[in-house]
């Protein structure tokens, strides 16, 4: 049983998209949200991106089998003019993230 669950998790993690939760500093208005959204969307690894103006949370879902490392995410957000406070991830979109 344990072997089966481990196998399922490994398969899921290799086939599924990654959901990345970024806490961005400096997000105060819809222009900020637009700037981050448009900058992140240019990355070929990104499937969707959304910005919560009220919290500064940026949620990035990558395409299947694709990921973005922390340094790349920091670079993208800084290119948009903002800063990263924290990054967490979930290999299973919809489930709680794993803090790093």
Partner 1 sequence: MWRYPVVLLFLLPVSLFSRPVSYADSWTLEQKNEAFGHILSLHYSPTSRYSLGLYAQSKPNLNKSWYLLTCNALLKRWNFSAAQANVFFLSGVGFSRNNARMGGAAGCGVSLDYETRRMLVSYENRAVYAQHVEKSVHHIARAGFSPYVAPFDALQPWFLFQYEKKRSKSVFTPLVRLYRNNVLVEFGISTKGNILLNWVVTF
Q: Return residues touching partner 1 (CB under 8 A).
A: 25-39, 42, 51-54, 56, 79-83, 85
Query: Judged by CB, which is closer to partner 1: 25, or 64?
Result: 25
In the complex, minimum distance from the CB of residue 75 to partner 1, in angstroms, rounded to a whole number: 11
In the complex, minimum distance from the CB of residue 44 to partner 1, in angstroms, rounded to a whole number: 15
Output Rg (C-alpha) for the chain, integer angstroms: 14
In the complex, minimum distance from the CB of residue 97 to partner 1, in angstroms, rounded to a whole number: 18
Distance of CA 13 to CAs 6, 70, 81, 85, 87, Å?
11, 18, 32, 26, 18
Report whether 22 contacts 83 (CB < 8 A).
no
């Amino acid at each position: 049983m344990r072997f089966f669950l481990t196998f399922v998790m490994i398969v899921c993690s290799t086939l599924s998209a990654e959901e990345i939760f970024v806490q961005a500093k400096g997000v105060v208005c819809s222009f900020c949200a637009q700037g981050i959204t448009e900058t992140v969307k240019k990355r070929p690894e990104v499937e969707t991106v959304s910005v919560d103006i009220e919290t500064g949370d940026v949620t990035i879902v990558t395409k299947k089998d694709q990921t973005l490392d922390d340094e790349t995410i920091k670079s993208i957000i800084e290119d948009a003019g903002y800063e990263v406070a924290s990054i967490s991830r979930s290999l299973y979109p919809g489930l709680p993230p794993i803090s790093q």
